[in-house]
Structure 1
Amino acid sequence: MKLREIFRFEFVYQARRVRTWFYFAILFIVALQFNRTAGDGGSNVLSPYGNAQETILTCLLWVLMAPAVAGSAAARDVQMRMHPLIYTAPIRKTDYLGGRFIAAFLLNALILLAVPLGTLAALYLPGREHAFVGPLRPAILLSSYGVLALPTAFTFTAVQFSVAALKRRPVFSYLGTVLIFVVCGSAAAVIVNVLQMPALGQLLDPTCRLNVLVIMEATMTPLEMKTVLIGLESSVLANRALWICISLAILAFTHARIRLDQRAG
């Protein structure tokens, strides 16, 4: 089996699960309600800061859902006792792991796409004052999704997938969430609030939450919140680049450690 075939099988398998679309619906409804009840100022539905804030908050909710997708892709064969057949097939480790991971990442990216779609729905559904929300700027939605949501999806999917694959149990993907979200997030908060090192804290936050919800809110003027694209700040871009590199290193470590011919414990 080639990487493309493994990817297609995994993507279609999970895309047909009710769970996947249930997660999508939850994020869509949350984004819809967030925007329909948003106030003025920095929380305006189409202001760069308001949309970035919404993206970060919905990503925090998505973090609780993501382990089911990544864990299933990484260790479902072992859980279903199919690994003796799969592991003895003429299949390359890179194709097997790569196809499964790419499918999990794209599925999570698809689920997070519910957030900008929910924003658009809130804008065009009846009951919204269009003069209040202002004109639609596609760059706002694209920057929030592309710079904030997608790198977060890549990072968490990589960690959750790797832990589940190494431990050979889907449930261990939740351990990956605890490790990266609680440990790294708490460490970043301590560095910012206790050690007074905001630059370092911003880099170590895997969700970019400190950048957007804490530091930028305290330093940006109301006018900047309405006009400046959040995803283009140097601190945000540095954070995203760092965590993508960390994620790639974790995936490389997982690839090196896993042997498809070894028995599951």
Structure 2
Amino acid sequence: GDIFDMFFGGSGRRRNTGPERGADLRYDLRIDFEAAAFGQETTIRVPRIELCPTCHGNRAKPGTPIKTCPNCHGAGQVQMVQNTAFGRFSTVRTCDRCQGEGKTIETPCPECAGRGRLRRVREIKITIPAGVDTGHRLRVSGEGEAGERGGPAGDLYVYLSVKPHPLFQRTGDDLILERAISYAQATLGGTVEVPTLESPAELRIPEGTQPGTLFKLRGKGIPHLRGSGRGDLLVRVKIEVPTKMTPAQREAVRQLAEAFGEQVSPPEKGFINKVKEAFGK
């Protein structure tokens, strides 16, 4: 080693010999819109480092001895004294024989090859609370990777993303729904059925409703994540113009337009009438 090794014992490369907490893990989970709204219990499969079930982390084959390291006498570190031109210096290094653990094994565990830990895929049941949204993080204590030398396991963090819904848009805990109504319903009023996250509900349309009018159904939105109650369902109406009408329906609309003093296109003449006009009959 160089002069810095002599002064600082390997430039600070001393290994931690005490209990060490396991690493935290992240798991990304995509859930349905309804699961985010009402909550759900689900099971996820998480790859992680676990303690060996055979040796329970001590790295030795069951029934074989685990001895105190004869080199460091269980300290995990050895002291070295060197004489230099500057005088006599004492340094402390990690024990090379036991790698800082203070004990040695004669027969390694056959399942983990003496490592004490294994990579496994573990099924973990989690509970998704009602009212979560994309970006919400669930903490599952102690379900991260196993610790070392008796240290505790890390935690598992589940990050949620929510699939979009074909009908509803979410704004906070409120839902927005677009509902088409007919010209007659908008003009004369009436009652229409609208979907909710549960069963359909009735919405009263007042006379003279304009396109884009927003109606509120209280308590039909997303449950509040913290506290009781729910958001609202906001229904935005749009006027649906018919693309196909019977002659009687066309005539009725034409008469309505005349009653309002509006000019509309004249009725199209039939094929027979067009032929008669062409020949002057």
TM-score, normalising length: structure 1: 0.22
Q: Which has the higher strand share?
A: 2
TM-score, normalising length: structure 2: 0.21
Larger Rg computed on CA atoms: 2
Q: Which has the higher contact order (CA 8 A, sep 6+)?
A: 1
